[in-house]
Structure 1
Amino acid sequence: MSALDRFINDAAARLELGYRARSVVNVLAGWIASHPLGLDGLAQQFEQAGLGAQFRSWQRPTEPSRPVLASELEHAVRTHALVTMARRAGFPPGTFRVIACELLPGLVALASASGPVRAAALGPAGLHRPRGLTPAPARTVQGLALRGMLWMLAGVVLIGFTTWLHLKIRAPHWVAPVITEQRDARLSMHQYGDRLLVQGRLPSEAARRQVWNALTALYGRDNVRGGIELDPATRPPRWLDRLSARIAQLEGDGLLLDFNGDALRVDTSAMVAEQRLEVSRLLRHHFADLQTTGLWGPGLAALATLPAHAEATTVVEALNRTTLKFRAGSAALTGDSADTVDAVAAALTLLPASTRIEVAAHTDSTGHADASLLLSQQRAAAVVQALQERGVPASMLVATGLGQQYPVADNRDDAGRARNRRITYTVRAPERDAGTAVAVAWQDR
């Protein structure tokens, strides 16, 4: 018994396919063998669909075979090819997808070990040569000639139909899927007075109308210029609903908002100070999951106005007006903190290398005190690491976790707890870490 026959018998017993197991295996084997580039081309196609690791595991008998989901297989093979194979095997498409996920790894292994596996070909039936004919009488010659022409015409039709059927049966099942590279959604909005320039790329007409209707309702149809390109290959933006709901709050002469995938670029430099702070506050609150650059705040304003040779205490006073945020319950900085960390690092690198700065993390009173102390230490260490990555000497920084010991606001409401979750900076005496510190009051914005 051949390896393929043993495989068919195993499939019939394991999947309870009975006599239909051979039909299914033959269809799948024919599909594998029909790829114009062989197994290498098939491997490349699965690689493009993100299933390269699974396919390679099927080719290596020493490794455990990695399973594939029906939805993943349909992405690699394409729906048309799966439906065609299901019809030839005599199964509903949904059932065939599940069976194919079970049988395809084994068939690829067989093909890799012993060369291409090919479905059983149907040989054409033999044609019987007609017996010799006796000479016809002269009066019947014309009739015989007419019947001969009719038989010849029928033969041509039969040969044509047989050839078409043979080609149809042996035609490759392979339909090379077109893997379209997905792009990030983008939306840029730049306000000039009471006019707005909009440009971008969104995945659907519904998404485009959602944004366009919100903007025209706010600015007026005649004051909105530009256009939004429709691209079905664009990933759905995670920020679209939030933006549409708050677009009336995010306005101001000179404001630029540029959403690009999971990144947000903000430019408020042309706006008045009060508007800059309010827009930045709203963006920090509602889009903290995006990698945001260009936000403004009291701390960044204070750092921007520091003199060239400021004393360490003056620098620390400005640092303590900055705000850093972390993901809930973790030591991971939110995306809108990147600009602040950059500005803090730039200020610290201007100080003498002998300066010692304590970076202390505080939490609110939520949770157990010991857990809060551990989390605060992890957060302080995360800030120190981020500053070191931006060029601040490690010898200048000391990470300290203070947990919930030193609240600056009431922990009974959300606003108070938000103020208590903070990072503070203190100048340490150079001679000893535990020496008298010059503490500067921290203000949260």
Structure 2
Amino acid sequence: MPAAIEIRGGLADEALRIELMSAVRAVFPDLSVTTVAEAAAAPADRALLRDAVTAIRLMRFLAVGEAAIHTDEIRMRGAAFHAAARTALAEAAAAAGVPVSAEDVGVGHAGASRPAAACEAEVAALVRQRPIEFEPGRATLSGKARDVVDQVVYALSACPDAPVAVAGHTDSDGTDEANHRLSLARAQTVIDMMVANGLPAERFTALGYGESRPLASNATERGKAINRRIEFMLRD
């Protein structure tokens, strides 16, 4: 999902504005939302609210972009996280019940490749802000973690030739051997999802460090949460 949402326009009816913001929060519960007031629609314009909610739901497939509501259709442009997200967008648009134009939506980063160090820094900032979380004691991604991996896939598409090492880490609960296996399995789970979303498998190496490289004390639950993490290392 995108990093932030800006809504331009207006609904004259306060109840409809509340409904719209509720829809935004349902789709993007963790994102910053900015509203820019413009000329308001006619009072109780439920057709506009319907189209706005549809546009918001479709935006979840985009890393960057916009959706503009016109009298005859919703027009979208930008970049999907990856090919699978672009396909999902097309399917959701076809089932939306209102005309949607998404021909101007591409896949991944456009333009020249970026240095590996720049991609690594961007990914590090992403996972620091929104850690990739797993079900306790398992290598199964949480629901929110899948959204973060989508963002990582998009960031890595900007440096398509850079090899990537994906490292898993655990807290100190459990044995050294079990934690090593779990950290390696979690790293592989992340790689598998990125490959399923279009990145080539040969770019990736899975590493498992178990509890051997803590960032914080394992004496507290907060410290343990910090130590349970996935890291990405890139090289040119």
Is the pair's TM-score, using the shorter chain for normalization, greater than 0.5?
A: yes
Equivalent residue number for residue 213 of structure 2: 406
Match for 1:256: what amino acid? V
Distance 1:319 1:364 in 2: 22
Corresponding position of 2:144 = 336
Match of 2:154 among 322, 328, 346: 346
Q: Is the 8 A contact 2:164 2:205 kept in 1?
A: yes
Query: Which residue does 1:363 correspond to in 2?
Result: 170
Percent of paired sites with the same residue: 30
- What RMSD in Å do the two structures reach over aligned CA positions? 3.5
Residue 425 (1) aligns with residue 232 (2): yes
Whether the 8 Å contact between 1:254 and 1:270 is mirrored in structure 2 is no
* Contact residue 306 and residue 315 of structure 1 kept, 8 A: no
1:198-209 equivalence runs, <5 A:
none
Which residue does 1:271 correspond to in 2? 34
Q: 1:225 and 1:307, CA in 2 relative to 1: closer, same or farther beyond 3 A?
A: closer
Aligned counterpart for 1:372 among listed residues 174, 179, 191: 179
In structure 2, do the counterparts of structure 1 residues 306 and 403 end up closer, same or farther at CA, with 3 Å as the change threshold? farther
- In the alignment, the residues of structure 1 paired with residue 110 and residue 230 of structure 2 have an alpha-carbon distance, to the nearest angstrom, of 20
Q: 2:124 aligns with which of 291, 298, 320?
A: 320
Verify the 8 A CA contact 2:110 2:158 in the aligned structure 1: no
Question: Aligned pair in 2 of structure 1 residues 388, 330: CA closer, same or farther (>3 Å)?
Answer: same
Does residue 397 of the first structure (1) align with residue 204 of the second (2)? Answer: yes
Q: Where does the alignment leave 5 or more consecutive residues of structure 2 unmatched?
A: 1-10, 36-59, 64-80, 82-107
CA offset digits 1:280-302 (Å, max 9, x no partner): xxxxxxxxxxxxx68x9xxxxxx
| Partner SS for 1:403 | coil
User: How far has the Cα of 1:254 moved from its partner?
Assistant: 7.8
Q: Is the 8 A contact 1:388 1:394 kept in 2?
A: yes
What is the alpha-carbon distance in structure 2 between the residues aligned to residue 364 and residue 318 of structure 1? 25
Instruction: Give the SS at the match of 1:271.
Output: strand
Determine which structure has greater relative contact order: mean sequence separation of CA pairs < 8 Å that are 6+ residues apart, divided by chain length: 2
Residue 398 of structure 1: SS of its match in structure 2? strand
SS in 2 for 1:320: helix
User: Would you say the 8 A contact 1:360–1:423 is kept in 2?
Assistant: yes
- CA shift for structure 1 position 384: 0.5
| 1:431-442 alignment, distance < 5 Å | none
- TM-score with structure 1 setting the length: 0.31
Rounded Cα–Cα distance in structure 1 between residues aligned with 2:124 and 2:114: 15
Q: Distance in 1 between matches of 2:111 and 2:219?
A: 40
Distance of 2:24 and 2:228 partners within structure 1: 30
Taking the aligned partners of 1:423 and 1:225, their CA distance within structure 2 comes to: 37
Residue 196 and residue 401 in structure 1: after superposition, are their counterparts in 2 closer, same or farther (change >3 A)?
farther
Counterpart residue number, 2:25: 257
Encode CA deviations 1:16-50: one digit per residue, 9 max, x unaligned.
xxxxxxxxxxxxxxxxxxxxxxxxxxxxxxxxxxx
Does residue 310 of structure 1 match 2:114?
yes
Structure number with higher strand proportion: 2
Distance in 1, Cα, partners of 2:32 & 2:23 = 8
* Structure with more of its chain in helix, by fraction: 1
Tell me the matched-pair count.
Answer: 153
Deviation at 1:394, TM superposition (A): 0.9
Q: How many Å separate the matches in 1 of 2:34 and 2:23?
A: 7
- Give, as a single letter, the amino acid of the residue that structure 1 aligns with 2:33: A
CA contact (8 A) 1:316 1:427 kept: yes
Q: Which has the larger radius of gyration?
A: 1
3-state SS of paired residue (1:346):
helix
Cα offset, 1:308, TM superposition: 5.6
Structure 1 residues 405 and 256: alpha-carbon distance in aligned structure 2, compared to 1, 3 A threshold: same
Conserved 8 A contact 1:319-1:344 = yes
For residues 393-439 of structure 1, give each alpha carbon's deviation from its aligned partner in whole angstroms, at most 9, with x where no partner exists: 1111101111000000111111111111110011247xxxxxxxxxx
Correspondence for 2:99: none
